[in-house]
Structure 1
Amino acid sequence: MSAPREQFSSKTGFVMAAAGSAIGLGNIWGFPTQTASNGGAAFVVIYFILAFVLAYPALMAELIIGRHARANVVTSLRHISNGKKSYALASGVGFYGVITASLILSFYAIVAGWMLAYLFESITQMLGWTQASEWLTGFGLQRNLIFMGLFMAMTMAIISSGIKGGIEKWSTRLMPMLLFIMIALTVYVMTQDGAMEGLRVYLLPDFSQINPGLILDAMGQAFFSLSLGVGTMLVYGSYLSKQDSLPKLGAAVTLVDSSIAFLAGLLIIPAIFVAQKNGVTVFTESGDMIAGPDLIFQVLPSLFDSMGDMGLIVAFAFFSLMSIAAVTSSISMLEVPVSYMTEETPASRHQSTLIVGLIIAAISAIILFNFNDLFGLVIDLTTVYSQPILGVLMCVFVGWIWHRNNLLEELKAGHDNIESTLFWKIWPNYVRFVCPALILATFIRAL
């Protein structure tokens, strides 16, 4: 291996980095729109329950494997294998995770580039540069390539600086900024006409809305919102100290992620109703609430335009928020392939980051040149199909392949009395039987 392995310098640094990985664009627009289309507050209640019932146990599986092996995802899974067959499976699953994380980043960088373009557009609007604003909000190939490249360059710059100087340093700076902007925007939106209607939908549950479909959607959102399945949390866990209590850190990450998802809903749901009050179309012809990219790039910009001069400031703050969320997620995705290349080849971290980053940027460019055919395909291939399969396989490694005594010894590091806790009495069998069944149920629902 070409360099000694780094560690996070503090528990706060790890929690900020791990929460930043989980809190991305999909979380900020995905959770609120899932909430709006699934019974409002009833979905929020079920989501919080499942975040700890499903996502937390699966998160623990990745953290434990990573810290035990103190290596990249491929080497870590090989390390806990107990024979030739499981070793071969470990290699396949590890490489599958590296490829999936890289492909997720390839389309994520495109969407994040759109966020940066809209952020710049809010500035050109303030300056009265109409032509520049039109170019920045137009879906042109040149614009998309430039801002995708700019976003990838930002991500690569952070990853090339390592764990303490890159990931931890920027996560501890960006996450408080994200939280501050989100709270400030929420306070402002609450002063607008229509916000209280959205707040009622979001906070007053109608439990008659709960049905199997809602539960499975909440289950999927809880699992995917924590970036589980592709090895990002496993790699972050590998940079943890043996003195840290993994159950406590895992709970902290789950709580922070869920809380910020809740805050995102507290911002977006009332904002949608404010937009409707201002005459903006927020429902499709079929009666469903507009979600995803259309919400971010059509509904909310129309709302900002209706606010006059104040809307320019709100737009700048909002797209700053979205850009920060994009960066904190993208650095964890890039770290998955970079950690493998750094540890398993003679290449340095700087060289590995440059090589891997340019390859992913090239894939993003190919997607952009064939956008209609490839963009949706890559999203489905990675998030709908690959992530659930990888999540199940991670649980299989911890629950079925790794020797139970070795698992216990790893948990005892940083938590001496773990054997007598409720966590140890429930979690091993839970991650062995229940988590795979729940993830597979979500997967089948998605299909």
Structure 2
Amino acid sequence: MSAPRGQFSSNFGFLMAAAGSAVGLGNIWGFPTNVAANGGAAFVMVYLILAFLLAYPVLMAELAIGRYARRNMVQALRSISTGPVSRGVGTLAGFGGILVASLILSFYAIVAGWMVSHLADPFATLIGASDTASWLTSDSTSRNFAFTAIFSGLTMLIIASGVEKGIERWSTLLMPALIILLLLLIVYVLTQPGAMTGLDAYLRPDFSELSPQLLLSAMGQAFFSLSLGVGTMLIYGSYLSKEESLPRLGALVTLIDVGIAFTAGLLILPAMYVAQEAGTQIFSESGDLIAGPGLILQVLPALFDNMGPSGLFVAIAFFALMVIASLTSSISMLEVPVAFSIESLGLKRKPATLLTGAIIFAISTLIIFNFDALFGLVISISTEYGQPLLGVALCIFAGWIWRRDQLLMELQEGHPGIEKTLFWKVWPWYVRIVCPLLILAAFAQTVL
């Protein structure tokens, strides 16, 4: 690999970066409420199984393609193509990945901006700036624009510093901080009235809830929680040393991701029932637990308000956790178009970061000023349609188009004798046939 392109300097750096990419807001606010609505621990068990039956094989496909090609998504898929048709499809899929990653980041930056503004709110309250505090928690266009700009700037600052000094350095700082904050908040929340009811709702298995719908829901959660299908893991794989064992690293990334998602449930569900004990409504009119932005920006802030003076410090810790989770994911998404700009357009890293970051921020701005019409639409196009279809494309390239001897040679790098293992006997046909069918099943369930 040429020096200017960069490379992770350690296993730990890669693991923290890859886990940070996977661990985002969806893990913290989506997974726990999904569990509570689908049979508690029964859903958790199904999710853990499917994380390794679906997410891990697709993750391995992205990492292997990325490390073999050592290029951005467009050039990587073209490099393993075997003819003009597959090269054309690879080009389309590569540009599709760049587009979808950019669209996801465009709305993600807005949501992350809400986390930053709510992190600033307790500080404004502490110094008595009540008008500023009200603005920070208002749903105003000016607030959304300002904090989307701040968060986008932070993301660009990290990416502009490169792989080792930017992505790796900040991931190794932020991910341990995220885990420590998460554990401290769990310890605190579990001492509050009502917490045990939430813990029971989270950990008690209800096997009567097992159904095809639950299986498909767990399948979708497993696939999307690892940031698969948009090239983030492909890019991170391209920065890996040839001395590393891809199957081992892939398994560790999957374990860290599902581990943090599960641990987040030990915080969110008990916190929701603590909020209910304090008089906050935690169920929607349809009887479902409130999830998504409503959970983070309505239910939990109401809980913090009822805690008195200590609530300010709990709010600071919680929203710091949310900002960190947002940032570790956003840097991986921005790296997808930045890598293309550097390698295909010949730009240096800082101008490439500024150009791509500015374009994505412009899309965010367009969404902010047309929020009702565009916000949900962009989410639907990118996550419900773009991500699963690109995931299928990556499976087809790894399983059907890439020459088997080249694939084996790449996996043997850092893992000699892999051809004799159960992994090699199962994974190639599994990613060729089973994974695309599973992804398409989850896709059909989401769309239909």
TM-score range, shorter chain: over 0.9
Name the structure 1 match of 2:278: 278
Superposition map of 1:108-119 within 5 A? 108-119=108-119
Q: How far apart are the structure 2 equivalents of 1:346 and 1:390?
A: 26
SS, match of residue 5 in structure 2: coil
Aligned residue for 2:251? Answer: 251
Query: What is the 5 A alignment of 1:14-413?
Result: 14-413=14-413
Matching residue's letter, 2:291: A
Structure 1, residues 398-438: CA drift from partner, whole Å, max 9, x if none? 00000111110100000001011111011000000000000
CA-CA distance at 1:27 after TM superposition: 1.3
Which letter maps to 2:375? Answer: F
Q: What is the letter of the counterpart of residue 21 of structure 1? A: S
CA shift at 1:39, angstroms? 1.4
Any idea what the Cα deviations from partners look like across 1:208-245, whole Å, max 9, x if unmatched? 21111111111000000000000000000000000000
Question: By how many angstroms is 1:346 displaced?
Answer: 2.5
Code of the aligned partner of 1:316: I
Q: Deviations over 1:25-54 (max 9, x none)?
A: 111101111112111111111111111110
How far is 1:286 from its partner?
Answer: 1.3
- Deviation, 1:128, is 2.1
Contact 1:2 1:342 in 2 (8 A): no
The unaligned stretches of length 5 or more in structure 2 are none
1:198 and 1:269 in contact (8 A); partners too: yes
Q: Is the 8 A contact 1:73 1:235 kept in 2?
A: yes
TM-score (norm. length: structure 2): 0.99
Deviation at 1:4, TM superposition (A): 3.0
Question: Which amino acid is the alignment partner of residue 100 of structure 1?
Answer: V
- AA in 2 matched with 1:18: A
The aligned amino acid for 1:30 is G
Q: Which residue of 2 aligns with 1:415?
A: 415
Question: Identical aligned pairs, as a percentage?
Answer: 62
For residues 383 and 64 of structure 1, the distance between their equivalents in structure 2, rounded to whole angstroms, comes to 23
Residue 139 of structure 1 aligns to a residue in which SS? coil
Structure 1 Cα separation of the partners of residues 223 and 285 of structure 2:
30
Give per-residue Cα distances to partners, 1:137-178, cap 9 Å, x unaligned: 011111111100000000000000000000000000000000
Instruction: Kindly indicate whether the alpha-carbon contact (under 8 Å) linking 1:3 and 1:348 is maintained by their aligned counterparts in 2.
Output: no
Distance 2:317 2:224 in 1: 26
Give, in whole Å, the separation in 2 of the partners of 1:43 and 1:122.
35
For 1:285 and 1:350, the matched residues in 2 are separated by: 49
1:376-417 deviation digits (Å, cap 9, x = unpaired): 000000000100000000000000000111110100000001
Matched AA of 1:75: Q
- Asked if the contact 1:2/1:343 (under 8 Å) is kept, the reply is no
The residue type equivalent to 2:434 in the other structure is: V
Letter in 1 for 2:45: V
Contact 1:2 1:347 in 2 (8 A): no
Quote the Cα distance in structure 2 between the aligned partners of 1:343 and 1:286: 50
For structure 1, the 5+ residue unaligned runs are: none
SS of corresponding position for 2:414: coil
CA distance, structure 1, for counterparts of residue 166 and residue 323 of structure 2:
17
Rounded to whole Å, the distance in 2 between the matches of 1:189 and 1:88 is 53
Whichever residue aligns with residue 25 of structure 1, its letter is: L
Q: Would you say the 8 A contact 1:2–1:346 is kept in 2? A: no
Partner Cα distance (1:228, 1:287) in 2: 31
